[in-house]
Amino acid sequence: MKRVFSGIQPTGNLSIGNYLGAMKQFVEMQDDYECFYCVVDLHALTVMPTARSLHEGTLDLAALYYAVGIDPHKANLFLQSHVSEHSELSWLLQCISYFGELSRMTQFKDKKQLIESSKKGSQSITAGLFSYPVLMAADILLYDAEVVPVGQDQKQHVELARNIANRANQLIKDGVFVVPEPLIPKIGAKIMSLRDPSRKMSKSDPVDASRINMLDTPEAIMTKFKKAKTDSENLIKYDPVNKRGVSNLLEIQSLCTNKPISVLEAEYENSGYGKLKTQTAEAVIEFLKPIQERYYELRNSPEMLEYLKLGADNARKIARKTLTRYQNALGLVSRD
For residue 172, give the DSSP letter: T
Q: What are the DSSP calls for 196-263, one per residue? A: -TTSB--TT-S-GGGS-BTT--HHHHHHHHHT----SS------TTT-HHHHHHHHHHHHHHT--HHH
- Cβ 193 to ligand TYM shortest distance, Å: 8
Q: In Å, what is the CA distance from 42 to each residue of 38, 182, 199, 242?
A: 11, 22, 26, 39
The residues that touch ligand TYM, with contacts defined as CB under 6 A, are 5-9, 17-18, 20-22, 40, 43, 136, 139-140, 148, 150-151, 153-154, 157, 189-191, 200-201
Cα 157 to Cα 155: distance, rounded to the nearest angstrom: 5
- Cβ 177 to ligand TYM shortest distance, Å: 14
Toward ligand TYM, which CB reaches closer, 195 or 200?
200
Cβ neighbors of 199 (< 8 A, separation 6 or more) are 192, 193, 205, 210
Cβ count near 126 (within 10 Å):
14
Cβ count near 120 (within 10 Å):
8
Toward ligand TYM, which CB reaches closer, 87 or 271?
87
Q: In Å, what is the CA distance from 225 to each residue of 155, 257, 284?
A: 28, 16, 10
Toward ligand TYM, which CB reaches closer, 215 or 267?
215
Toward ligand TYM, which CB reaches closer, 136 or 222?
136
- Cβ 303 to ligand TYM shortest distance, Å: 25
Cα 243 to Cα 142: distance, rounded to the nearest angstrom: 41
- Cβ 258 to ligand TYM shortest distance, Å: 18
Task: Please give, one letter per residue, the 3-state secondary structure of 13-75.
Answer: CCEHHHHHHHHHHHHHHCCCCEEEEEECHHHHHHHCCCHHHHHHHHHHHHHHHHHHCCCCCCC
- Cβ 213 to ligand TYM shortest distance, Å: 13
- Cβ 150 to ligand TYM shortest distance, Å: 4
> Which residues are annotated as catalytic?
111, 200, 203
Toward ligand TYM, which CB reaches closer, 139 or 146?
139
Toward ligand TYM, which CB reaches closer, 2 or 267?
2
Give me the residue whose beta carbon is nearest to ligand TYM: 21
